[in-house]
Structure 1
Amino acid sequence: MDIMDAQMRISLKTNATGIRAMGIKMGCRMLILLISVFVFSTQCPVYAQPREPDPNTSDPRWRKRGIMDGNMVRTLFYNDGEIGRNDEPFSGEWPKGSGHIHLDGVAVLVMAECIDNSGNTIHPMETMYYEFMDMNPETNQPMGWAPLPGYCNYYQDSPAMSDDPESWPDRWPDKPLDWGGYWNGYFGKGVKNADLETYYVMDDNQDVEWDFSP
């Protein structure tokens, strides 16, 4: 369907007591009506960032998992907007190394109003979660967010992480060629503004429920 295309950045900054800020910076081609993210009783600011949507569409084969541990919190995350799982270790572990898990799971919810190919007003809502997802009967893939190709090293297990150049792609699909070998920083080429960052792009092209063409 590809109604929505979202650019995601998750960053963790440190102070003496733990999380100082966790930012999710998102640029969407559609008006975002609802984004609800709640982590450890810390408000997560969402920043709109204009960008040209990637002409490619999502590919579930690029779905990867990683660990964010840039401060006193350690948590599992996926490059489809999902953070933590209740059946996995390191799902909101605080303090890091304690084994104390404080998170079941977090998912990004985005709802939009648009017109389908028959002229009807529709209100699709997209998310990605490890359970209760509608499945595509032909591909057996969940009909939700999935990562676009090219924003990490396909042959590594993790999404692109700011502290691991081996997890970066040879070139970033949304940046000029001379950004190759540099971190895709929100504030510029090679700029890192947190202890640890991850970056990926996802869309809802796997959701075939709606008769819609962008």
Structure 2
Amino acid sequence: MKPTDAMNPITEDDIANYLANTPDFFARHSELLAAVHLTSPHSHRAVSLQERQAEMLREKIKALEHRLMDMVRHGNENVIIADRLQRWARNLLQVRSGRSLPATIASEIENQFMVPQVAIKVWDVDSRYGQEAFAEGVTEDAKSFASSLTQPYCGVNSGFEAVNWLADSATALSLALIPLRDGAVNTAEPAFGMLVLASPDPQRFQSGMGTDFLERIAELASAALSRLRHD
């Protein structure tokens, strides 16, 4: 410890630094361990240093147990999501008709992932699909907006044109707007379609939520829809 005098009294930091840098202090003064008493934050009574250390250790163990429980819960949730994603992809592979593929993509998202409303539009399709409902009614503004998204939009319904693709746009309080393009969602490739997921729950799709799962949905859907463009 540094020298002290009346002008420079020893501070708590000096004591803390000394103890931190002198690990054998309590080995040489073991009687202090029993003599030092602290106030417990739980009972507000004086407890020994050893008892306080035990309390702190129990608190750390409890915190670790909560973290472990959260990890197990998230792991179980991820397994469930992965299983649903696998079933959704399997059902898409079984679709033989290109004309029914967009509707199947939407209905399977509703069924497998319990999304109240899903809509899909696809453009730049082969001429044989040009008159289908999924290929009509999309303005150039909507196409440009889809191409501008480098990740799914999640948040409140701010009057997007794509909301009008839903069966009941009035109940769409939160949305996920997912661009469909060749390759990964975050590439610079122009979008050739967009998925709209909607819920009456304003918290279902929130700004700032993770979008990795939605991006996987987009990539699988885009790959499945490629045959509508290249037949």
TM category, shorter = under 0.3
Q: Which has the larger radius of gyration?
A: 2
Structure holding more strand per residue: 1
Structure holding more helix per residue: 2
TM-score by length of 2: 0.24
The structure, 1 or 2, with the larger RCO (C-alpha pairs under 8 Å, 6+ apart) is 1
